[in-house]
C-alpha cells in the first residue's frame, strides 16, 4: 500500500512506504501504446472532439468531412551518437563484447584477448591505434588493423556463441556487417580501405539504426529524422503526423499522413504544401478526386538575363508542342528535355538571344512531368489573391513552431516509431489546448 503520493517513476514523498509503480512502468505503458497504435487513436480522438464541437460546452456544430489541410516538416536531431567509420565499427564491436560478457559471465578483458581484439582494451579505438591521423599511410593502416580485429571478433562469436546469437547480440553483429558493406571496400591487392564517396542510405549511428544524414537546405545539414504534420486550416488542430529518416524526401511523409486522415473518414479537398511534397502520390490522389492543390512553383532558372527564358516559349499542353520565339515547333512528352533542330537553330537570326550552345547544338528546354500543375502555381503567385491563398500554409508552420517549443529540436527516443509516438503525443496535447481556447472564446 502506498501511503504517500508519488513524484515520478518509483519516487516517493516523505512518509510513503511503497511506490505505486516501478521505474519501468511508464516505459512498458509506452511500448504497449506503440504496439497497439494507441498513440494514433489518442490523436484522432482529440481531432474528433474538436471537430464535433463536443468540447464547446453544449454549442455543437456539424463539421464537414471535407478537409482543407496544410502539410509541412521540420528537422529532428536523432538521439543516437553520430560517428565516423572507425568509431562505428569500434562502438559495435565494444557492444558485442559487452553482451557476450553478460551472457557468459566472463570479464570483457578476457573476451577481448581470446577474440583477438586487443584494441578494445584501450579507453577508445583511436587511442588504442595510437597513430598520426594526419598521415594518410598511417590512417590507411589503422583501417587494416581495425577491420582485421573486428573480423576476428566476429569469427570468435560464430565459433563460441552459435547457440545464443539472438537479440540483442544479433543487432550489433548486423551493424558491423552493415557498416563494413557501406563504408569499406577491398582493392585489387586485397587490402581494405574506406570507400570513396558516401553509400546510399548510409548508417550514421550504432544506437539508432534508422537515423540518417539529411538536409533541410543546401547549407543546413542535420542527423536524425524529419517530423511531418498535417494541420487543419479551418480549425486549429493537427490531424495527422509522420516521422521519416532525415535522408528521405519530404514527399514520403505525405502518404502515411493521408492514410491516417482517411482512417478518420475525412476527405482532403484542399492540400497546401511545400514544393518538396509536390511529387507525392497524395497530390495525384487529391487532383483525381477533384480537389485542389496549392504550392509555390519551382523556380525557372535563367541562363542569362540577355537570353530568352522558358517563359518566352509557347507551351501547348493540349497538343504537347512547344514553339520557340522564332516559330520553330517541337513535340514533347511531360518530363522530356526538348532540343530544337540544330540546323534551324544554327541559321536562326535570334540565336544570339536564345542560346550559348556550341555550334551544331540546338536550344534545349526542360518540360516538367507536372508542367500543367506548375503553370497553375505560377499563375497563383503572380496575383495578389493567389498569393493570399498560398500564405494560408503559414498556419502549419506556426503549428510546427509550437511543436518545437514543446518538445525541443532533439529526439527523446531511439527509432522512427517511438519518435512518432512522441510527436503524436505532443500534437494531441496541442489539440487539447486549442480546444480549451475554443471553449474560452465561446464563453
* Beta carbons within 8 Å of 72's beta carbon, 6+ residues apart: 228, 229, 231, 273, 274, 393, 396, 397, 400
pLDDT of 236-261, one tens digit each?
999 999 999 999 999 999 999 999 99
Q: What whole-number distance in Å separates Cα of residue 137 and Cα of residue 146?
A: 14
Report residue 209: phi and psi, to 5°.
-70, -15
Amino acid 59: pLDDT: 44
Strands 184-186 and 66-77: unpaired
Position 6 scores a pLDDT of 46
The CA R_g of the chain, rounded to the nearest whole Å, is 29
List Cβ neighbours of 409 (8 Å cut-off, separation of 6 or more).
Answer: 75, 76, 77
Distance CA 406, CA 81 (A): 23
Instruction: Indicate left, alpha or beta for 6 from its phi (over 0: left) and psi (-120 to 50: alpha).
Output: beta
Q: What separation in angstroms does the CA of 101 have from each of 119, 195, 386? A: 16, 32, 66
Round to whole Å and give the CA distance between 295 and 389: 9
- CA dist., res. 40 & res. 282, Å (int): 20
Query: Of all helices (H) and strands (E), which one includes residue 359?
Result: none
| Per-residue pLDDT at 2 | 43
pLDDT of res. 134: 87
Contacts of 258 (CB under 8 A, 6+ apart): 240, 268, 282, 285
State the virtual CA torsion across 318, 319, 320, 323 in degrees, nearest 10: -110
Task: Collect the ranges in the chain with pLDDT lower than 70.
Answer: 1-16, 54-63, 163-165, 167, 300-303
Q: What are the structural domain ranges in the chain?
A: 85-194, 212-297+377-438, 310-367
pLDDT at 16: 66
Amino acid at each position: 500500500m502506498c501511503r504517500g503520493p508519488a513524484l515520478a517513476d518509483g519516487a516517493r514523498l516523505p512518509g510513503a512506504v511503497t511506490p505505486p509503480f516501478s521505474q519501468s512502468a511508464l516505459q512498458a505503458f509506452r511500448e504497449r501504446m506503440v504496439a497497439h497504435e494507441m498513440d494514433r487513436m489518442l490523436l484522432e480522438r482529440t481531432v474528433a472532439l474538436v471537430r464535433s464541437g463536443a468540447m464547446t460546452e453544449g454549442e455543437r456544430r456539424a463539421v464537414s468531412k471535407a478537409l482543407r489541410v496544410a502539410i509541412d516538416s521540420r528537422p529532428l536531431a536523432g538521439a543516437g551518437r553520430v560517428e565516423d567509420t572507425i568509431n562505428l565499427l569500434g562502438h559495435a564491436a565494444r557492444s558485442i563484447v559487452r553482451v557476450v560478457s553478460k551472457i557468459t559471465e566472463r570479464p570483457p578483458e578476457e573476451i577481448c584477448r581470446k577474440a583477438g581484439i586487443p584494441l578494445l582494451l584501450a579507453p577508445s579505438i583511436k587511442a588504442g591505434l595510437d597513430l598520426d591521423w594526419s598521415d594518410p599511410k598511417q590512417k590507411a593502416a589503422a583501417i587494416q588493423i581495425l577491420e582485421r580485429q573486428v573480423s576476428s571478433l566476429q569469427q570468435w562469436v560464430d565459433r563460441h556463441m552459435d547457440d545464443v546469437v539472438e537479440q540483442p547480440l544479433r543487432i550489433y553483429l548486423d551493424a558491423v556487417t552493415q557498416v563494413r558493406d557501406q563504408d569499406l571496400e577491398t582493392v585489387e591487392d586485397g587490402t581494405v580501405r574506406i570507400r570513396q564517396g558516401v553509400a546510399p542510405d548510409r548508417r550514421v549511428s550504432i544506437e539508432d539504426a534508422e537515423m540518417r544524414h539529411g538536409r533541410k537546405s543546401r547549407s543546413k545539414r542535420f542527423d536524425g529524422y524529419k517530423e511531418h504534420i498535417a494541420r487543419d486550416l479551418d480549425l486549429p488542430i493537427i490531424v495527422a503526423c509522420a516521422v521519416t529518416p532525415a535522408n528521405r524526401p519530404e514527399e514520403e511523409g505525405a502518404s502515411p499522413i493521408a492514410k491516417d486522415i482517411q482512417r478518420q473518414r475525412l476527405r482532403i479537398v484542399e492540400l497546401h504544401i511545400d514544393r518538396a511534397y509536390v511529387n507525392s502520390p497524395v497530390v495525384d490522389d487529391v487532383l483525381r478526386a477533384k480537389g485542389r492543390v496549392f504550392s509555390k512553383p519551382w523556380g525557372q532558372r535563367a541562363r542569362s538575363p540577355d537570353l530568352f527564358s522558358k517563359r518566352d516559349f509557347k507551351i501547348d499542353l493540349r497538343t504537347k508542342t512547344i514553339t520557340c520565339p522564332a516559330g520553330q515547333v517541337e513535340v514533347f512528352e511531360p518530363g522530356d528535355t526538348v532540343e530544337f533542330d540544330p540546323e534551324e537553330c544554327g541559321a536562326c537570326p535570334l540565336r544570339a538571344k536564345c542560346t550559348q550552345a556550341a555550334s551544331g547544338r540546338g536550344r534545349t528546354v526542360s518540360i516538367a512531368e507536372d508542367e500543367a500543375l506548375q503553370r497553375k502555381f505560377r499563375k497563383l503567385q503572380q496575383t495578389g489573391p493567389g498569393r493570399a491563398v498560398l500564405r494560408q500554409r503559414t498556419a502549419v508552420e506556426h503549428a510546427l513552431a509550437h511543436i518545437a517549443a514543446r518538445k525541443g529540436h532533439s529526439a527523446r527516443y531511439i527509432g522512427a516509431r517511438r519518435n512518432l509516438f512522441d510527436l503524436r503525443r505532443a500534437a494531441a496535447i496541442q489539440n487539447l489546448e486549442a480546444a480549451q481556447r475554443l471553449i474560452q472564446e465561446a464563453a
